[in-house]
Amino acid sequence: MKLLEDRIRSDGDVLPGNVLKINSFLNHQVDPELMKKVGEEFSHLFKDSGITKVLTCEASGIAPGVMTAYELHVPLVFARKKKPATLNDAVYWADVYSYTKKVTNQICVEQKFLHKGERLLIIDDFLANGEAVKGMINIANQAETEVAGVGIVVAKTFQGGSEWLKNHGYRLEALAEIDSLANNQVHFVGEK
Residue 72 marked ligand-binding: no
Residue 120 marked ligand-binding: no
CA distance 176 to 70: 21
Query: Cα–Cα distances in Å, from 174 out to 17, 21, 48, 89, 106?
Result: 21, 17, 17, 34, 25
How far apart are the two ends of the chain, measured CA to CA in Å? 17
Residue 53 marked ligand-binding: no
Q: Which of 165, 75, 168, 64 is nearest to 114 (CA)?
A: 75
42: Cβ–Cβ under 8 A, 6 or more apart, which residues? 64, 68, 71, 72, 121, 123, 151, 173, 175
Residue 130 marked ligand-binding: yes
DSSP 149-167: EEEEEEEEGGGSHHHHHHH
Residue 129 marked ligand-binding: yes
Cis omega (within 30 of 0) for bond into 128: no
CA distance 178 to 12: 12
Residue 79 marked ligand-binding: no
Per the annotation, binding residues are 20, 27, 128-132, 156
Per the annotation, binding residues for xanthine are 20, 27, 156
Per the annotation, binding residues for 5-phospho-alpha-D-ribose 1-diphosphate are 128-132
